[in-house]
Amino acid sequence: MAQMNYKEIASEWRKERNESIRKENGWLALSGLFWLKLGNNKLGSDPKNEIQLPERLPSDVGYFEFNGKSVSLRTNAGQTVNVNDQPVDFALLQPDTSDTPSFITLDDIRLVVIQRGNKLGIRMWDNQREERRSFPARTWFEVDENFRLPAHYTAYDHPRMTFFPDLTGEKSEFPVDGYIAFEFNAKPYKLDVTREDDGSFFLRFWDPTSETETYPTGRYLVVEVNTDGNLTLDFNYAYNPPCAFTNFATCVFAPEQNRLDFKVIAGETYLKR
């Protein structure tokens, strides 16, 4: 079998990205986000419930209790749900930020507690959503090796707290571990990044294509370490945040220092829908 060239590898990756958002419990299956109020938050298909399930499910399943710090789930008599594949009628729930989140399933619905700052909410996936099949294919610029750049990583002495804007219009503080330095058209640049557990680097950036051609708040990119220990900053692999596909994601966008002054005509594009 012939070995794939660079453009073929990039094209295959893009195909996988398009398929990944359509998978069971993927981004296109997201169907609800409900921020919890203190006390009991009723769960079921009745429109009066705080957490509203699709019509095909029971009208009154039980309730989530939020005490300001933690969330528990209690079902009504005769009702059970699965939490991490175990049938229960009561559970103290771990949020998505923990090492072992509590995933709740009812038929082909999945729920989880999400924690964003001091707010806790319930995220819902509905695997019967039509969008899994009908959502348009993702679109991309042509692969351009001019946007495949050598880069160098420098760690900060201590992780720096940086303000990242989010979907709600607020700014949240997150640590960044260091920065990646590179040159484009003989001009030096650097971008703050977070080092992932697998040794790669994750960055959020904005460039002027966001004004017309790419996602308005910027894009994401994972920078891998080469086998020789060097870095390649490859904008052909830049991709849109989940908010480009669903109204129920909680995206964090590029910090001010990661705004580039040149057009990155590479990676994923965006068509307003």
One digit per residue, pLDDT tens: the chain, 273 residues?
Answer: 567 899 999 999 999 999 999 999 999 999 999 999 999 999 999 999 999 999 999 999 999 999 999 999 999 998 889 999 999 999 999 999 999 999 999 999 999 999 987 889 999 999 999 999 999 999 999 999 999 999 999 999 999 888 887 776 667 788 899 999 999 999 999 999 999 988 899 999 999 999 999 999 999 999 988 877 789 999 999 999 999 999 998 888 999 999 999 999 999 999 775
Tokens, residue 28: 């296109």
Q: Which residue has the tokens 């209690």?
A: 74
Q: Is 38 left (phi over 0), alpha (psi -120 to 50) or beta?
A: beta
Q: Which residue has the tokens 């029971």?
A: 58
Residue 145: DSSP 8-state: G
Count of helix runs (H) and strand runs (E) in the chain: 2, 17
CA 209/CA 270 separation, integer angstroms = 10
Predicted local confidence at residue 118, as pLDDT = 80
Predicted local confidence at residue 119, as pLDDT = 87
Contact partners, residue 87, CB within 8 Å, separation at least 6:
80, 81
Predicted local confidence at residue 257, as pLDDT = 95
Cβ 33 vs Cβ 121: under 8 Å: yes
Contact partners, residue 1, CB within 8 Å, separation at least 6:
none
Helix (H, G, I), strand (E, B) or coil at 204: strand
* Domains and their CATH numbers in the chain: 27-133 (2.60.200.20), 137-258 (no CATH)
Output the CA–CA distances (angstroms, integers) from residue 99 to 71, 94, 102, 109, in the order listed. Answer: 16, 9, 10, 22
CA 256/CA 96 separation, integer angstroms = 27
Cβ 205 vs Cβ 259: under 8 Å: yes
Helix (H, G, I), strand (E, B) or coil at 96: coil
What's this model's pTM, rounded to 2 decimal places? Answer: 0.89
Q: Which residue has the tokens 């900060």?
A: 156
Show the CA angle centred on residue 252, arms to residues 51 and 106, nearest 5°: 25
Predicted local confidence at residue 164, as pLDDT = 85
Tokens, residue 241: 């945040």
CA-nearest of 211, 238, 212 to 223 is 238
Predicted local confidence at residue 79, as pLDDT = 87
Predicted local confidence at residue 2, as pLDDT = 60
CA 216/CA 195 separation, integer angstroms = 25
Contact partners, residue 64, CB within 8 Å, separation at least 6:
36, 40, 41, 43, 50, 51, 71, 72, 73, 93, 113, 122
Q: Which helix (H) or strand (E) holds 133?
A: helix 131-134
